[in-house]
Amino acid sequence: MKNLIFILPFAIFAYFLSKKKLVAEKETVLPEIEILGEKYKTNEVVMSGLYAKIYDKFYVDIVGIINTYALSINTKMALSIIMIESSTRSISENNKTIIGDDGNSVGYMQVSLPAIKDVNKKFSKTFSMNDVLKNAYSNLSVGCMYLDMCYNSAKNSNSINPIRLSFKKYNGGNDETDNSKNAMAEKYAEKAYNYFLTFSK
């Protein structure tokens, strides 16, 4: 009986504390993002299901591209770029709706004309802006090949984190370094790398 009297106040306190926490959770309004044409709440449980959906949609194509062109990147790196470049837009099957930078970047991986030129030169290809706009697989191919160029450049620079630097180069150009002062590219790299770590869990 004495033990019960001693424990009871702590039990009551724990009950009210858990109830308060539950109310706080109910009152929390989670922001929504639109990915693959559907809206998602950005909490960890829902996002984990979202990452699985992203994998299902792009994994096979990306693996095929990596193998075809003998690229050094992995699927998680490419998926991270897709997430940061086009996840906040509704994605149509014909890939026409994803246009950014005043029309200068297009598709799932927001491929630009300079990136296309670099890829064509490096891989002896003839991709055009029209290709990466109208053909989703071409967009993924050029995006992955350009990311591979950024990654190899990062590795050759003896970067402390070549994956993160490759993201920075993808956004800011191949001249970016670990210590370059490009706030936009730095923020981009941080966000993309966080996606990469999430995909790696």
Along the 201 residues of the chain, how does pLDDT read in single tens digits? 444 444 444 444 444 444 443 333 333 344 454 444 545 444 444 455 666 777 778 888 999 999 999 999 999 999 999 988 876 453 444 545 565 555 578 888 999 999 999 999 999 999 999 898 888 899 999 999 999 999 999 999 989 999 999 999 999 998 999 999 999 999 999 999 988 888 777
141: containing domain: 29-199
107: left (phi over 0), alpha (psi -120 to 50) or beta: left
The pLDDT, as a whole number, for residue 103 is 55
Q: Is residue 57 part of a domain?
A: yes
In a domain, 12, yes or no: no
Answer whether residue 19 is part of any domain: no
Q: Is residue 5 part of a domain?
A: no
142 contacts 135 by C-beta, under 8 angstroms: no
- pLDDT for 104 equals 72
Give the pLDDT of residue 114. 93
Closest CA to 151 of 80, 68, 53, 51: 80
> Does 172 fall in a domain?
yes
Predicted local distance difference test score (pLDDT) of residue 87: 66
Residue 126 confidence (pLDDT): 97
Tokens of 46: 């829902």
Residue 71 lies in a domain: yes
Question: What's the number of domains the chain is made of?
Answer: 1
In a domain, 3, yes or no: no
pLDDT at 24: 35
- C-beta neighbour count of 200 within 10 angstroms: 11
What pLDDT is attached to residue 48? Answer: 56
| 132, 139 Cβ separation under 8 angstroms | yes
Question: Any bridge partners for residue 100, and if so which?
Answer: 105
Question: What's the longest Cα–Cα distance across the chain?
Answer: 84
Task: Please indicate, yes or no, if residue 147 is contained in any of the structural domains.
Answer: yes
CATH number at residue 64: 1.10.530.10
